[in-house]
Chains A and B, each alone.
Chain A
Amino acid sequence: MTPLIELEEITKNYGSYRALDRVSLQIEPGITSLLGPNGAGKSTLIKVLLGLLRATSGRGRLLEYQLGRHNRQIRERVGYMPEDDCYLSGLSGVESVQFAAQLSRLPGLESLRRAHEILDFCGMGQERYRTVETYSTGMRQKLRFAQALVHDPPLLILDEPTSGLDPAERETMLSRIKILARNHGKAILLCTHILPDVQAVSDAVIILAKSRVRISDRLDRLSQPTAPSLKIHVIDNPEEFAQKLERAGLKARIGALGAITVDGQHAELAVKIWQVANQANIGIRSLEPSRNSLEEIFLSAVREQPDANS
């Protein structure tokens, strides 16, 4: 599959501060999440991709255009939803989306029709006729999403699209993102701090920390543990069950929320675990092949020193 975005050794300095340090990565079609602690360089990376900032060194390509050389063409094909509020005061919701459409060269009346169409998709009703200043956080979020989408770009960069949304709205927003990627072939770069969102929709994950790429891989590959193991949740005391497993000659350890991880091949291991549970008269709530959680992946990536570039 041809990557949509390819970066080679991109470095960006602000004076003596290095915001991006030799960042190299490839982003393929689908939903890619960009993660990282505050100050990791995510916003700088987005600005470099949009051509709002010129990289100090390195080169890159977005779709078929060179970064820094074809900024206008890139911005025509990218829809950007910023994290912060950005609106023109005094305009209603539909006028704001129409304005964004016209800036992206949609002609006059057609831009108004398209603005209504997109606001329908974003689930905004009659409130679209109110001025933006009166909007709640969730409505502003939907408005920014509509503005990013109105010109039907092949690539969307969404910065914290679900922050400030209630659980139902968050679910709906994620389903919209999935619809756009799965049914309409949009490539989506999702910047978020909400890891369950990443887990719910992402195909690939990029983790930035201290200005460098720590991890860049498909989420399903990252979730696979290095050695086969099983994860168990028991109804009663997990410590007691873990001790009994150890006495039965199995390697067991207790993780977050009382989950017991036992290393070994799945089939023979499961039989042994059931035998131990039966002898100890302990009820097993769940037994499944263990996978690395995104929290674990994120924390280990942020703590680790070597990066994916090296």
Chain B
Amino acid sequence: MIIKSQKDFFSGLLYAAVGSAFAIGATNYNLGTSARMGPGFFPMMLGVILAIIGLYIMFKAMVVKTPNGDKIGAWAWKPLFFIIAGNLLFGVLLGGLPNLGVPAMGLIVAIFGTTFVVSLAGDTYKVKEVAILATILSIGCYCAFVLLLKLQFPVWPTFITG
């Protein structure tokens, strides 16, 4: 069997997998009757529908020819990794990880950390430029979110503010 459309095949696979997962999960909840639906009824219905849609797309992807095979193409691992890593770092620095004993470093440190990591996702990386950007962003965010909008953030590291 040759896959005629890579994109479709794998999206179908995704639908089929997620749909069945939801349907299987729904068996843990009371299905009820159609007059008195339990919490499992609607998810079961949708899960089965999604799985069928997924299987149909997979089937079609193996039968219907596409001009260039509809390749997924290379994954952009570098931006993917650094954007997500920067985002996660923001959470860790801002709120800390109490379970692992990582202290909360607050908003300003988080902004600097995130900006430096996320910038790595681009093609060019100039430390000086990123430092300036991070400084501008911290001042801007502090003024906009903390002073102006009065959103609740831990601004400074907990071991300084106590």
A binds B: no
